Structure 1
Amino acid sequence: MNGDAIELSIIAPAFLAGVIVLLTHIPLGALVLKRGIVFIDLAIAQIAALGVILAGIADLEHAWAMQLCAGLAAVLGAFLLTWTEKRWPDVQEAQIGVLFVLAATGSLLLLAHNPHGGEHLRDLLAGQILWVRYDQLLIPAIATVVIALLVFRRPLAGVGFYLVFALAITISVQLVGVYLVFASLIIPSLGVRSYPARRRLPLAYAVGICGYAMGLVLSLVFDLPSGALIVWMLALLAIPTHAVGARRHRVPKPAKVVAGAFDH
């Protein structure tokens, strides 16, 4: 097997994992921007990561067990955020931030005496997308299709929004890490917000797919962390995309554009 074939065997499943993540995260990211709760993805992703850490502490090393713990943690976080939104809706973004920092510092405390804690935490944050295998993608792919059908076929609100969001984050956080979860949700949607509604979804997918492809290739070429490079490629593509859209499409009410989402 030559070098090109080896590199393709590494990039192909990683790229497919990125496409699976983008399938649900781009429309969900638009909903997040519309609702004005940008940091919910970081909070839920960090809570899911906390679930993975708790599974490791309990010696639940099987992939399904860790996925279950991550899912349960994320769903509990979703129910908590649903309750806080009903109780104190005027400070929901602040409550999301508090939940994120509690989950993040809780992870640090749980891993404080683990000799490999720093490495484990780095993997959860930055991800290990280059090491994803095809056999890891079957269940996430099936679950992603189900979630995508829910997202596209009916408007999500209340507890339904938080639960679907939590499940989508649970699937993606172990594939690509917390940083890429946030970047996949927010950056493409920000980049296309100045375009007409009918063009935002395909353009956001183009930004996301090209960003993942470029980041993965460059990470192999320069031997740099793939997750970090993908985040930067997403941003570098989203910036000129937004600039072109802002120049060509003059919108009379910019405040609505900033908070806009993909119209169904």
Structure 2
Amino acid sequence: MKLARKDLPDVGELVIGTVKKIADHGVYVFLDEYEVEAFAPTQEVVQSWFHSIREYVKEGQKAVFKVTSVNPKMRVVEVSLRRVREQEKEKKLLQWRRELRAYKLLELAASKAGIPQQDVLKLLWSFEDAFGDPLKAFEEAVKTGPEVLKALKLPPRLEEAVLEIARQHVELPDVKISGILKAVSIEGDGVDRIREVLKAVEEAVKKKYPNISVKLYVVGPPRYRIDLVGKYPKQLEAAFNDVSQALQEAAKRHKVVASIQRIEQ
């Protein structure tokens, strides 16, 4: 699928290619983002002359290539598989998958809003201009709401459709905030008192934020760790602030001296 804005890639650019034909002298590759054919000479595929080119690529395989030369007049592009580092490969594949995902989501939103499908690619580019990564627009819309889409100046029906599709199809990764609690009691039943304080803190968070996971465990008395895990960073921040308040209230009730310090990630 052609997602690139240019007709041809630049020298040094990483591209996604589908192996179409393997010959003795090299590999013919279809560049998915540009919908143009490229060629990878044998020496730009194999690592050693003792190996066959078919040990590195198979017909129909998608791989990341690096552009080594471009002739715009002849529309001839040469690429290399050998010059792509593993880290570059992983980064490019992730970028490609996210762009495709964003395009598919925009197709759904455009269909729902009555926007012509031929306009989807331009929408993808506008999302990319605004967010760098077009899929991030959908993720941020789920995280913080429709206000993040205002900069795109979308038609109201399309903005509503994008938000609806985002909420239906985008699953946010978990976010974690952690802190160290210190709790000390000089009372004879101090261990029980501290246990009640920690229990009260956990229950307070779970009651107010049922979609946040709370884990409390001993680091080494008098130090205890609390982990808050959820999908929404702002909600986690609010929950962590409530932990501090709940801790002080419970500590006062049970005559425990307590404090909390956030662990910077």
Task: Tell me which interval the TM-score lies in, with the shorter structure as reference length.
Answer: under 0.3
Write 1 or 2 for the structure with the bigger share of helix.
Answer: 1
Write 1 or 2 for the structure with the bigger share of strand.
Answer: 2
Pick the structure with greater CA Rg.
Answer: 2
TM-score w.r.t. the length of structure 1 is 0.24
Higher relative contact order (CA 8 A, sep 6+): 1
